[in-house]
Amino acid sequence: MRLYVFSAILVFFTLAGQAQGQTPASNFNKKLADSLGADEYGMKWYVMVMLKTGTKKIQSRDSLSWLYKGHIDAINELTEKGLLIVTGPLGKNTQNYRSFYILNTNKAEEAQKLMMKNPAVKYGLFDPEFFFWYGPAALPTYRKYQPLVEAKKP
């Protein structure tokens, strides 16, 4: 019985100490947090897409060129609409991942539809894998500052 009471007291003080450690942030901006879809921790769910080397082999240089141009155009369109937060190529790896996207949605079906608008995905040059990712709600705001640190455009 003593062990039970001691354990209950220990759990109570541990939880009380943790609750006291969670103080509100002094510079919290509710309007900004709401506009970004942030939860109380300043986080939100996104869909991360990993693009793997596709199963289809494209032999024609013209077709390959057209698919890559369409891939870049799709990236630019999603970025302009605020739907694509981050993307970039990956180094060599054993899973054959070529690049990744972080999409500004928490809906798998929407993410799949967005990716199928990319001709390189639609025609099998890349195969997408979808994951939910819990990250900073303010992540989309980095784009405001990115042009200020780019000496050259790719």
Q: Is the dihedral of CA 152, 47, 74, 59 positive or negative?
A: positive
What average pLDDT does this structure show over 36-53? 96
139 in Cβ contact with 85 (< 8 Å): yes
Q: What is the pTM of this model?
A: 0.79
pLDDT score of 112: 98
pLDDT score of 154: 66
What average pLDDT does this structure show over 92-102? 96
pLDDT score of 143: 85
The CA distances from residue 43 to 33, 67, 78, 134, in Å, are 9, 35, 22, 7
pLDDT score of 38: 96
What average pLDDT does this structure show over 140-144? 89
User: How does the average pLDDT of the chain come out, rounded?
Assistant: 87
Q: Is the pLDDT of residue 4 over 70?
A: no
